[in-house]
Structure 1
Amino acid sequence: MKTPLLMIQASPLATSLHQQLIAADYDVRLVNGTAPELDPGTPPPSLILLDAAVSPDIVPVLRDLSLRYPGCPVITLVDAGQSALAGEAMHHGAMDYLLKPFTGEQLVATVNHALSLNQPIPDMVVASPASQQVLLLAKKAAQTNASILIGGESGTGKECLARYIHDQSPRAKGPYVAVNCAAIPETMLESTLFGHARGAFTGAQQSQTGKFELANGGTLVLDEISEMPLALQAKLLRVLQERELEKLGSNQKVKLDVRVIAASNRDLRAEAAAGRFREDLFYRLDVLPLSWPALRQRQEDILPLARHFLAKHAPESGFELHPDAARALLAHDWPGNVRELENTIQRALILARGLVLQTIDLMLPDTVTAPTPAQMPAASSLQHSRRSAEFQHVLDTLRRFNGHRKDTAEALGVTTRALRYKLAAMREQGIDINQAAVTG
């Protein structure tokens, strides 16, 4: 599997950033200068970290980077008192920013998020008639400025569809900003969305630009919008109606030019009828409704998606599916949808004993049981070394987070479900994971 290459501009923070990202299994290169550049012959970076303290005149630097490394996401590192500079950077090509000081967990989460958003979308795998119809409607919707509501079960690919709409729209060159409403504490969500002025509340020592303002000229995705508190829903409705906002603690109005895409795995019409979601906000968002069918309802997509994930996670390795493994994939119900399918393929690549993936490598609970060490043929020394190094990295990360599964999974950039499968595979190999006191 290809390791993302991160380019970090040399700065007082660089050594710490380097260590934290190396621990998260990234290939990291430190480069000097206000306009950093990798050595000739080095593959292009997957992501760039740019420190505003080293390059305060950040706009021409971003312009230069976009010419030398087209399509490469940039994260700017900005002092807490310079949130306006962070907003300016995003309007000139930066994908995201981090306000100093930040934790290692915030750094890794932001990098993972930026890399996931930067995955190529044009080759969306849509073999089934149901998926083709959704994509056709999405392409039409992209040409308008109307709000869009994307429905579908968890793991169906709602954020991928949102990114596709942005990329197909006249706003494609503008910022793309995604917010998971369920992941942000309720007390911080209003400030995150709308921003705040200095002194707006206890601890607000500096003003902050909100996600709406950062998305000006582009697209704002509100994922899991059903988790937004009712009081905040009323403020969101007002912003959508008036196309302007006031930061917390300020009476100055900010004009907005933002396309809003909302997503939810719940039936918002039913939520509104039950009083758990504002009906007027629902109708404001539901101008152009789209919904991904569950993966079990579009079986024609399963094998093309599986082969897509093989190519994504093991490029140029020549992995193939055994016919029995393909039949097992088609027979599975996929309660976790596309996300579960991708995790299954990643797991199979880790457990694979050759270039043809077998049914036993998939570890699907409704078809096979996990292989025992006696069932596993001896791997080549290269495969064994790679797997041993990976298992050791998982074990080291578990120890770093005192055995807490959720924190470990976030640091590794995988889901807790994928981590559980990894731990099960380690147990089957006779590795004592209890020494890391696994919890959570």
Structure 2
Amino acid sequence: MSKQQAILLVDDDKAFRVLTSGLLEEQGYRVVAAANAAAGLALIKEQPFDLVLTDLVMQGTNGIQLLEQIKAFDPKMTIIMITGFASIPSAVEAMKIGAFDYLSKPCSNDELLLKIKKALANKRNLEELDRLRTELSERYQFSQIIGKSPAMQSVFSIIDMVAGSDASILLSGETGSGKELVARAIHYNSPRQSHPFIAINCAALPETLLESELFGHEKGAFSGAIRQKPGRFELANSGTLFLDEIGDIPLSTQVKLLRVLQEKTFERIGGTQSISSDMRLISATNKNLDQEIQAGRFRNDLYFRLNVMPIHLPALRERKEDIPLLAQHFMKISATKNSKSVDSISEAAMKMLVEYNWPGNVRELENVIERAVLFCRNATIDVSHLSFHEQRPEMQLLTNARSSRMTEKEMTQLYARTILNEHNGNKKLACKTLGINFKTLQKRLGEL
């Protein structure tokens, strides 16, 4: 059952208060009436209201003054002004101060109810927007970036310093290392957090489409341009623009991008009007841009514009001490998401996760853990639940053992031979890897 919406009606006309209160109560609203501004303000400070409906012209404190007092107490309060025809200019002034709308007396019941419905719908939309912004801000707090390794602590220190600035940032690191997560964290911890975060993958689009996406186009600018379309630079105004895979931008587009960064203006494709965009730029690449510059594939002057504050994200294999933390984090998220009761990872499974090379970095780890949670039928993820993009020898061994229904003795022997082969027949190294002595190895190999 939905909560009954509360409306405060402030008017010094008793007949209007009685008639309007009755009408609104018939529509299911809870109505509280006040005969003057002072009484109305006192009620607002005592109890919550979804909407204030107030007369503009009253004895003593008038509607404009009440509006200012309400907004000082609760800036988000939704207010509709009621006015006579002669005071419409004052009602317009009230809207500039913060009123949602105004009504002219006399007004029909249908017009009054429609204005109230629109005002309350707008209030709900704004509340939902605030909720989503809060959720995003919490999701991309620096605390959500997992890592205790020295390499990640260094990254945390840098992003904490630059988040509050408008400096251009260049994120580098392998695919899957978390560049977009860091970019979003910087945005949602910056003064621009209430404005858009606009992302585009530059490698995913051909040159002609990329320019249209970046700068927008006018109607008729090219075949298929049936309407005007704003570009990402325009959409990111007051917010942050994230250019992922910046190293894949063609040289011809690099020239235009450099001009935007230098002059802070651009034109839509097919247009002549200069458009300004006040946005913060964060770029990311998995390429070595110094090498790209040497090869003539990336402009040196553009690189210096982008690389005001460089941040390098280490590969997961370079911060193995973070793997247990990340694995546990992804396990909890996936278990909740998939309504599973998985709450731990076995020691053997964790050892395998730590020893794996992770060519796909954090993104691959997240996928591996989610698959493991889905496969797991009890509370603990074990070795048998793990599957990797690059199959490890022991995982292949386990797959073969399961498919051929090997006995434990046969599997132990096969594993010992696999490790011995990896060490090119060196039994001393094989014993060290297996954690057994020479005699035990001989028994497993069937030599005794």
Instruction: State TM-score, norm by structure 1.
Output: 0.60
- Structure 1 match to 2:285: 264
Q: CA deviation at 1:69?
A: 6.3
Q: Are residues 1:368 and 2:395 paired?
A: yes
Contact 2:217 2:269 in 1 (8 A): yes
Q: CA deviation at 1:185?
A: 2.4
Q: CA deviation at 1:351?
A: 1.6
Q: Which amino acid aligns with 1:65?
A: N
Q: CA deviation at 1:186?
A: 2.0
Q: Distance in 1 between matches of 2:120 and 2:319?
A: 47
Q: Are residues 1:121 and 2:163 paired?
A: no
- Structure 2 match to 1:131: 152
Q: What pairs with 1:38-187 in structure 2 (closer than 5 Å)?
A: 64-68=124-128, 70-72=130-132, 120-122=139-141, 123-187=144-208
Q: CA deviation at 1:58?
A: 11
**Deviation by residue 1:334-365 (Cα, 9 ceiling, x = unmatched):** 11110110111011112213111101211242
- Aligned-partner SS, 1:199: coil
Q: Distance in 2 between matches of 1:129 and 1:327?
A: 21
Which of 171, 187, 200 matches 2:221?
200
Q: Distance in 2 between matches of 1:135 and 1:59?
A: 43
Q: Distance in 2 between matches of 1:59 and 1:136?
A: 45
- Structure 1 match to 2:365: 341
- Structure 2 match to 1:330: 354
**Deviation by residue 1:207-235 (Cα, 9 ceiling, x = unmatched):** 10101100000000000111111000000
Q: Distance in 2 between matches of 1:255 and 1:359?
A: 55
Distance change >3 Å, CA 175–CA 68, structure 1 → 2: closer
Distance change >3 Å, CA 348–CA 62, structure 1 → 2: farther
Contact 2:176 2:363 in 1 (8 A): yes
- Aligned-partner SS, 1:72: helix
- Structure 1 match to 2:80: none
- Structure 1 match to 2:375: 351
Q: Which amino acid aligns with 2:360?
A: G
**Deviation by residue 1:89-145 (Cα, 9 ceiling, x = unmatched):** xxxx9xxxxxxxxxxxxxxxxxxxxx9x89912221122121011011012111111
Q: Distance in 1 between matches of 2:119 and 2:299?
A: 41
Q: CA deviation at 1:368?
A: 1.3
What is the aligned residue count? 279
Q: CA deviation at 1:374?
A: 8.3
Contact 2:137 2:188 in 1 (8 A): no
Distance change >3 Å, CA 68–CA 223, structure 1 → 2: closer
Q: Distance in 2 between matches of 1:179 and 1:193?
A: 8
Distance change >3 Å, CA 169–CA 69, structure 1 → 2: closer
- Structure 1 match to 2:422: none
Contact 1:296 1:333 in 2 (8 A): yes
Q: CA deviation at 1:328?
A: 0.8
- Structure 1 match to 2:295: 274
Q: Distance in 2 between matches of 1:58 and 1:126?
A: 47
Q: Which amino acid aligns with 2:309?
A: L
Q: Which has the greater radius of gyration?
A: 2
- Structure 1 match to 2:29: none
Q: Distance in 1 between matches of 2:168 and 2:120?
A: 33
Which of 233, 249, 252 matches 1:228?
249
Q: Distance in 2 between matches of 1:301 and 1:211?
A: 35
Q: CA deviation at 1:318?
A: 4.0
Q: CA deviation at 1:250?
A: 1.0
Q: Distance in 2 between matches of 1:348 and 1:222?
A: 33
Q: Which amino acid aligns with 1:368?
A: M
Q: Distance in 1 between matches of 2:131 and 2:258?
A: 34
Contact 1:66 1:72 in 2 (8 A): no
Q: Which amino acid aligns with 1:198?
A: K
Q: Distance in 1 between matches of 2:119 and 2:275?
A: 22
Q: Are residues 1:300 and 2:360 paired?
A: no
Q: CA deviation at 1:155?
A: 0.6
Q: CA deviation at 1:71?
A: 3.7
Q: CA deviation at 1:62?
A: 6.7
Distance change >3 Å, CA 321–CA 233, structure 1 → 2: same
- Structure 2 match to 1:210: 231
Contact 2:167 2:309 in 1 (8 A): yes
**Deviation by residue 1:401-435 (Cα, 9 ceiling, x = unmatched):** xxxxxxxxxxxxxxxxxxxxxxxxxxxxxxxxxxx
- Structure 1 match to 2:267: 246
Q: CA deviation at 1:60?
A: 8.8
Higher helix share: 2
Distance change >3 Å, CA 58–CA 150, structure 1 → 2: farther
Where structure 1 has 5 or more consecutive residues not aligned to the other structure, the ranges are 1-56, 74-92, 94-114, 376-440
- Aligned-partner SS, 1:203: coil
* RMSD, matched Cα: 2.6
Identity of aligned residues (%): 44
Q: Which amino acid aligns with 2:351?
A: R
Q: Which amino acid aligns with 1:314?
A: A
- Structure 1 match to 2:333: 312
Greater RCO, CA 8 A, separation 6+:
1
Q: Which amino acid aligns with 1:121?
A: Y
- Aligned-partner SS, 1:314: helix
Distance change >3 Å, CA 348–CA 283, structure 1 → 2: same
- Aligned-partner SS, 1:262: strand
Q: Distance in 2 between matches of 1:204 and 1:166?
A: 32
Instruction: State TM-score, norm by structure 2.
Output: 0.59
Distance change >3 Å, CA 270–CA 203, structure 1 → 2: same
- Aligned-partner SS, 1:368: helix
Where structure 2 has 5 or more consecutive residues not aligned to the other structure, the ranges are 1-116, 406-448
Q: Distance in 2 between matches of 1:299 and 1:203?
A: 50
Q: Which amino acid aligns with 1:327?
A: K
